[in-house]
């Protein structure tokens, strides 16, 4: 029986409010979208993580989509604890004010999603933190001429949890529904 996720997933930086410092950052790869109306997403986090307690306390969080340009900071934020250090200062990432939540967002991340906590679904090893996206910001520099996100401009990071490795997205192969187009 398969006991590990063989699926590569996007790497994100989760930000939360922290009264002791600017805020906290943690690196995650288990993320998924559950609904479009309202736009709802979920991330997984272990209860022992510092950010988990802050999400429970403030009931909000930010999801920041990093690029390959900041991969060293992304990795650093996943292997240090915010209990002991200021990850913004130590990683060199720049906090920016959010539009709708009190958690800081990350300037270097071209896509930033502000979320309010809906619920926490408990599991044995990681819990799913489910939140509604209440505001989103997308930098114009990652948008193509049709108004869509250009992944070659965005350069998101893909991670594989059990291979403990990072990857980048390749080229566009085709658009959904291409098999039904008339030739």
Is the residue at 3 inside a domain? no
- pLDDT at position 183 over 90: no
| CATH number for 172 | 2.30.110.10
Q: What is the pLDDT of residues 98-125, one digit of tens each?
A: 999 999 999 999 999 999 999 999 999 8
- Tell me which residue range forms the domain holding 144: 9-180
Whether 34 maps to a domain, the answer reads yes
Band the pLDDT of 46: cuts 50, 70, 90: very high
In a domain, 108, yes or no: yes
What DSSP letter does each residue of 44-106 carry, written as one string?
EE-TTSHHHHHHHHH-EEEEEE-BGGGHHHHHHHHSS-TTTS-HHHHHT--EE--SSSSS-EE
Confidence band (pLDDT; 50, 70, 90) for 20?
A: confident
Q: Is residue 2 part of a domain?
A: no
Q: Does residue 46 sit within a domain?
A: yes
Flag whether 71 is in a domain: yes
What would the pLDDT profile of 62-86 be if each residue is shown by its tens digit? 999 999 999 999 999 999 999 989 9
Whether the CB-CB separation of 92 and 77 falls below 8 Å is answered with no
| Domains held by the chain: number | 1
Query: For the chain, what is the mean pLDDT?
Result: 93
66 within domain boundaries: yes
Mean of pLDDT values over 139-163? 92
Task: Assess if residue 20 is contained within a domain.
Answer: yes
């Amino acid at each position: 029986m398969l006991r590990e996720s063989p699926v590569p997933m996007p790497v994100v930086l989760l930000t939360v409010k922290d009264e002791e410092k600017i805020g906290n950052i943690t690196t995650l790869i288990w993320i998924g979208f559950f609904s479009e109306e309202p736009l709802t997403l979920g991330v997984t986090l272990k209860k022992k993580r510092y950010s988990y307690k802050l999400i429970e306390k403030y009931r909000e969080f930010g999801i920041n989509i990093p690029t390959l340009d900041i991969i060293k900071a992304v990795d650093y934020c996943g292997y240090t604890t915010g209990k002991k250090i200021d990850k913004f200062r130590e990683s060199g990432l720049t906090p920016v004010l959010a539009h709708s939540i009190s958690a800081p967002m990350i300037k270097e991340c071209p896509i930033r999603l502000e979320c309010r906590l809906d619920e926490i679904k408990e599991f044995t090893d990681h819990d799913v933190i489910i939140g509604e996206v209440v505001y989103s910001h997308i930098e114009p520099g990652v948008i193509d001429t049709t108004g869509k996100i250009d992944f070659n401009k965005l350069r998101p990071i893909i991670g594989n949890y059990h291979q403990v490795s990072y990857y980048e997205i390749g080229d566009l192969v085709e658009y959904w529904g291409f098999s039904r187009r008339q030739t």
